[in-house]
Chain A
Amino acid sequence: KQEVTQIPAALSVPEGENLVLNCSFTDSAIYNLQWFRQDPGKGLTSLLLIQSSQREQTSGRLNASLDKSSGRSTLYIAASQPGDSATYLCAVFSGGYNKLIFGAGTRLAVHP
């Protein structure tokens, strides 16, 4: 059974810090991994998509890496800002289940 775990569950940092969010999955047979951001009461905003054959993707201050063999992905946020405060979710598209399976998310608070 594919399970996705995100650590930590919550994180509070001062503005300007570089930070790393972790995502692990139990079954390495994935097609891709996607990172999302969710603001309170809102839908999900896609941040980065990494195909299973890729090692990393970058968008602005965000960098996501994927190590499929070890079942891990990290989302690196450089020079954090208060506007980055949100819940970050990772999800894997798992071949055996043919659907997106989500982690529980990391709730990030960046304070001025």
Chain B
Amino acid sequence: KAGVTQTPRYLIKTRGQQVTLSCSPISGHRSVSWYQQTPGQGLQFLFEYFSETQRNKGNFPGRFSGRQFSNSRSEMNVSTLELGDSALYLCASSLEVGRRGTQYFGPGTRLTVL
């Protein structure tokens, strides 16, 4: 069974631009969560989607948004990029809404904001 896939793997953007990241979960998984990883803050939860509905949201500004499609694929959008948005963005999928199941992570998208 194929794992979680994320595209693109690397992105370079400039301040003020916007970016969209994509995540395809493991087949059959309906929950997708997004995390930001930085050297200073570690791994921080962004949001979780299940059955096309946002179930939970972390403490990030409104510039960070997401959505989930009927095939469980998810996209994350960051508008008006700031230098501090440079990070590894990871998505994870699980069979159920996150509390019970193992979370399987993708390889991440490395975003660099110049």
User: Which of A's residues lie within 8 Å of B, judged by CB?
Assistant: 31-32, 34, 36, 41-46, 49, 51, 89, 91, 93, 95, 98-105
Contact = CB atoms under 8 A, between A and B. Distances in A.
Interface in B32-48: 33, 35, 42-43, 45, 48
21 contacts: A31-B99, A32-B100, A34-B102, A34-B103, A36-B105, A41-B110, A42-B108, A43-B6, A43-B106, A43-B107, A46-B104, A49-B101, A49-B102, A89-B43, A91-B43, A98-B55, A99-B45, A99-B48, A99-B58, A102-B42, A105-B42
A32 B60 CA distance: 24
Contacts, number: 56
Interface of B: 4, 6, 33, 35, 42-43, 45, 48, 55-56, 58, 88, 90, 92, 98-108, 110
Decide if the interface of chain B is mainly helix, strand, loop or mixed.
strand
Contacts of B56: 98-99
B45 A31 contact: no
